Amino acid sequence: MLDMLDFLKTEGVQPRILSEIERFRGQFPAEGALQRRVPVPRYLYYGREIWEEAATALLCGENVLLVGPKATGKNVLAENLAAAFGRPSWDVSFYINTDAATLLGTDTFADGAVTLRKGPIYQCAETGGFGILDEINMAKNESLAVLHATLDFRRSIDMPGYERIVLHDAARFIATMNYGYAGTRELNEALASRFVVIDMPAIPAEGLMKLMTREFPDLRPEYGTHFASLFQDIQKKCDGGELSTKPLDLRGLLAALRLIHAGLEGNRALELGLVNKSFDDFERQLVLDVIRARLPEIIRREDVFA
C-alpha cells in the first residue's frame, strides 16, 4: 500500500509538516473497526502548496473548506487528507433535503421503542473521524445551522432528548463546494466563518500528466500531452462561458482512457467519457469539435499505450 507520507515527501511538502502529521497519527491511531474506514486513495492530489495549506490547517484543529470549480480535485484532496492523517472518514453528500436528521441522527422505531439512529456527523464526533462534507452548499443554510456548535470552538453536539456529546480531539471536518454547479447556493457567513477556506486551482497540465501516468503507466507521453491539452481546451471553453461544466469531467477522461486501454477506438471512448456528458446537441457538437481539432480521426489502443 502506498504510504501517503512518502508521497508527500516526493511532492516536496515541508518536513516539519510531515513530522507533525506523523505525530498526529501516533497520538490518534485508528484501531479495530475504524481502521477499515481509513480511506485508501484511488487517485492522488498533486500540488505542494495546497497540501501544505490544508495539512497545516487540520493540524491546527481547523476545519477546511475546499472551494473550486469542477475538476479541481476537491474530493480527491479531502480523501487524501484523511488517508495522510490516518483517520477514518465519513462521506456526507449534501443535497437540497439534507437536514439535521440526515447529519446528526434521527429517531427510528426498533423493538417497540423509539431509538436514535446515529448520523455520520455524530459518528465522526464520537470516534474522531474526518467528516467529508461534499458539496456543502447544496443544502439550505437553515438546515446547516445545527452544525454551528459542532464546527466552532464549542466542538459539541447537543441533540434534544439525548446526551450532549463533545467532539473527539481528532475529529475534523473537510467541506467541499463549487459555486458553479446547478443547485448550489451561497454559503452564509455564519457557516463559512467556521472553516478556513482553500481556493482550489485548476489542475495544471503537469498534474494531469502525473495523474494519467500513475493510472496508466504504459500511456505514451505524447498522447498524455494531447489528452492533457484536450482537457485544458475544454476547461478554457468552460471558463469562456461557451460550455457548461458537464463535459469538463476528469473522471470521464480517465474512464475514456480505461476504455481505450481495453481496446475501444479512442474517439468513441471520448464520446462515452466526455461528449455525452452533455445532453445539449449543440454543446455536444462543440466538444466534438474540440476533440476533432486536437486528436486524429482514428485512435487505436497501440497509438496511445506502449
Instruction: Tell me the three state secondary structure of residue 97.
Output: coil
Least distance (Å) from other proteins to the CB of residue 104?
12
Asked if 143 and 189 count as a contact pair (C-beta separation under 8 A), the reply is no
Closer CB to other proteins, residue 199 or residue 242? 242
Minimum Å gap between C-beta 87 and other proteins is: 27
The C-alpha atoms of residue 82 and residue 187 are separated, in whole angstroms, by 24
Q: Residue 224 corresponds to which amino acid? A: G
* 298 vs 150: CA distance, rounded Å: 55
Give the number of other CB atoms < 10 A from CB of residue 40: 9
Nearer to other proteins, 55 or 304 (CB): 304
**Torsion angle, alpha carbons of 250, 180, 39, 9, to 10:** 70
Select 172 or 246, whichever has its Cβ closest to other proteins: 246
Residues in the chain: 306
Q: Which is nearer to other proteins, 152 or 239 (CB)?
A: 239
CA dist 84 and 28 (Å) reads: 12
Query: In terms of CB distance, is 31 or 302 closer to other proteins?
Result: 302
User: Nearest approach, Cβ of 303 to other proteins (angstroms)?
Assistant: 9
The binding site for other proteins (CB under 8 A) comprises 96-97, 101, 106-110, 112, 114, 117, 140, 179-185, 226, 229, 233, 236-237, 239-242, 244, 282, 285-286, 289-290, 292-297
Q: Provide, rounded to whole angstroms, the least separation between the CB of residue 196 and other proteins.
A: 25
Instruction: Return the number of the residue (14 or 232) whose C-beta is nearest other proteins.
Output: 232
Give the closest residue to 70 by CA, choosing from 288, 231, 194. 231
How far apart are alpha carbons 64 and 130 in whole angstroms?
11
CA gap 67, 231 in Å, rounded: 20
Minimum separation from the CB atom of position 6 to other proteins (A): 35
* Cα(177)–Cα(75) distance, integer angstroms: 10
Phi, psi of 117 (to 5 degrees): -100, 115
Q: Minimum distance from CB of 83 to other proteins (Å)?
A: 31
Choose between 216 and 227: whose C-beta lies nearer to other proteins. 227
Taking the complex as a whole, the smallest distance from the CB of residue 244 to other proteins amounts, in Å, to 7
